[in-house]
Structure 1
Amino acid sequence: MPGTLKRLSTEPKLVDFFNILYSVVPADSEELKKETFRLRHQVYCIENEFEKPSETTHQMETDEFDNNSVHSIIKYNKSGQSIGSVRMILPNEHNHTHSFPIQKICNHSIFTNRKLFTAYKPIEISRFCLSKSQRTMANPCKHSCVQLASSSAPFSPALLNKYGPILGLIKGLIQMSSEHQVTHWFAIMEPSLIRLLAKLSIYFKPTGTLINYHGMRQPCYIEFSELLRRVHSEQPQIWEVLTNRGQLDVGSQGHHGYYAAQS
């Protein structure tokens, strides 16, 4: 009938809830970088005593790797308050064996493999942080639930408030990886974070043994293309959040199978 609008589905998706609550912002200006460093000072020097406050400058936590890194921030839309940040350390083009912090504390050959650095583009995930004190505001999303694919439990607003910031940091990493044509992610994580990410279908592969580095932590890696494929297959609503409904140009990123061929 002319003039009649076709009825559209109004069932909300996880990405709709996420976009109500959060924004992921590239820290691509000096002021945003300073905001990232101040947030890191709050998390690593005040809340967790990971670093000594006396070793920071102007309440900003920085180190020598920041000059060869890109950063993202996640904010609450309602207040504009920054609640978390993450950095992606790029490889050293002049000396690949001095690219990442993980190379200083873990001697596994994966993290210094010349072929990998020559043919592909690995990065290290670092300063993956969420501020406890900045995450106390109420969840503004009033909808009752969202049903995750491959899960029988509803994804409630409370759970989104818990996992949403982590998804936001991963989304920031995916955005930066797409822009910089990254193929592999390295990291050294607490085992509990590896397990939490696995619940979101993000499967980091442990490499070597646990290392006592500010507590027991696990060196690990993941191929970027494999990350995207598994999340899309197992948790499509999470994939929509991480790729902004597939709008990020991530289809050709990654070179699946390098480590499989080496193992």
Structure 2
Amino acid sequence: MSHQQPSSIAPRKHAYSAPSVKQLTLLHQGEVLAQRYQRYFQASVASTEHDLRSIFQLRHRVYCEEFQFEPSNALQLERDQYDSYSHFCRVQHLNSGLDAGCLRLVNPNSQQSLPLLDACSSAITDRKLHPDNFAKEDICEVSRVALDGLFRRRRIDQQYGARPSGVGLDRFSDKELRTFPYISISLYLAASIIAEHSGIKHAYVMVEPKLARSLSLFGIKMTRIGPDIDYHGIRAAYHITIERFQSYLPLLYQPLFELIKQNVQASMGLLTQASTNPNNYPATLLPCLCRAK
């Protein structure tokens, strides 16, 4: 696989006309971060049957084999009915070609539902921000977020017996390892770009409260809309608008956002050219084709 060459990532335009020294410093640091990320990873929208198969295989490794949230199957592909009306994005490790992470945006029509409403009907107690208050085409749920175990572990973990199966961490340089924490944020940045492109205004997610706090450090400040629910561990429902997500993104991560936007938009162009099911995904890998907008 060919390597991307680092390029200058143009920062987003800001309201202020004369950036302060601190702002310029943050933008420079963000540029360095984006260029480092670009050397090792690429975020994109799934646009081929191969892309989807890789995502479903990754989900099987994480959800079925590692955490055993879902039953394993002979095909080693983790799928469900929501995949037929979802958008998918992935982050690929360029040096190895491995999928480091993936997620999906479930975008229902008037006859379809969100996974969190079907699985945890009591998860949302904030009636004002309940999905029922908005048009179905304006909402989505970010779900099936999966990071390959290899890219969730640090080199120090190997010293204590937490070595994942397959490829070892020793194949990664220290510079690569320092980019691993940005795999998750890049997935969420890609999701916001897909949502904006699709006209989606409201996003919901069911996550561990500690993960929500961690995401807030990256500027993803979600509103908690329900109590703790015991669903594959303690989780809670959160809401965020796409406008708020992108408007409050810290300066440090805006060059990374612009880089990912370039890659995602390019892969969405490939997706538009595909001749497949109504969501432009290969029908052979999706369990049903019930989307009818």
TM-score category (smaller protein):
0.7 to 0.9
Provide the residue aligned with 1:238 in structure 2. Answer: 253
Mapping for residues 58-69 of structure 1, pairs under 5 Å: 58-69=75-86
Displacement of 1:57: 4.9
Amino acid of the structure 2 residue aligned with 1:190? E
Residues 185-226 of structure 1, C-alpha deviations (whole Å, 9 max, x = no match): 101101121011011111111112111111110101111111
1:32 paired residue among 48, 51, 73: 51
Q: Percentage identity across aligned positions?
A: 22
Displacement of 1:236: 1.1
Counterparts in 2 of 1:112 and 1:245: CA distance versus 1, 3 Å? closer
Displacement of 1:244: 2.2
SS across alignment from 1:15: helix
Counterparts of 2:65 and 2:34 in 1: how far apart (Å)? 32
Displacement of 1:181: 1.5
Amino acid of the structure 2 residue aligned with 1:14? L
SS across alignment from 1:244: helix
Counterparts in 2 of 1:246 and 1:101: CA distance versus 1, 3 Å? closer
**Bigger fraction of residues in helix:** 2
- The answer to whether the 8 A contact 2:190-2:260 is kept is no
Displacement of 1:139: 4.3
- The answer to whether the 8 A contact 1:21-1:141 is kept is no
Residues 62-100 of structure 1, C-alpha deviations (whole Å, 9 max, x = no match): 0010000010111111111111110000022x32xx420
Displacement of 1:239: 2.1
Mapping for residues 201-220 of structure 1, pairs under 5 Å: 201-220=219-238
Residues 220-250 of structure 1, C-alpha deviations (whole Å, 9 max, x = no match): 111111111111xxx212122123287689x
Counterparts of 1:112 and 1:199 in 2: how far apart (Å)? 26
Amino acid of the structure 2 residue aligned with 1:128? V
Q: Which has the higher contact order (CA 8 A, sep 6+)?
A: 2
- Equivalent pairs, count: 216
Residues 8-47 of structure 1, C-alpha deviations (whole Å, 9 max, x = no match): xx98521111111110121122221111100000000111
Counterparts in 2 of 1:13 and 1:133: CA distance versus 1, 3 Å? closer
Which ranges of structure 1 fall in alignment gaps of 5 or more residues? 1-9, 143-156, 250-263
Deviates more, 1:176-185 or 1:42-51: 176-185
- The answer to whether the 8 A contact 1:21-1:139 is kept is no
Counterparts in 2 of 1:186 and 1:65: CA distance versus 1, 3 Å? same
Counterparts of 1:112 and 1:201 in 2: how far apart (Å)? 23
1:112 paired residue among 131, 142, 145: 131
Provide the residue aligned with 1:71 in structure 2. Answer: 88
Mapping for residues 125-140 of structure 1, pairs under 5 Å: 125-133=142-150, 137=169, 138-140=171-173
Counterparts in 2 of 1:67 and 1:57: CA distance versus 1, 3 Å? farther
Provide the residue aligned with 1:197 in structure 2. Answer: 215
Aligned-residue CA RMSD (Å)? 2.5
Amino acid of the structure 1 residue aligned with 2:117? Q
Counterparts in 2 of 1:72 and 1:246: CA distance versus 1, 3 Å? closer
- The TM-score normalised by the length of structure 2 is 0.67
- The TM-score normalised by the length of structure 1 is 0.74
- The answer to whether the 8 A contact 2:43-2:260 is kept is no
Counterparts of 1:133 and 1:17 in 2: how far apart (Å)? 19
Mapping for residues 109-188 of structure 1, pairs under 5 Å: 109=127, 110-114=129-133, 116-117=134-135, 121-133=138-150, 137=169, 138-140=171-173, 142=175, 158-161=177-180, 163-188=181-206
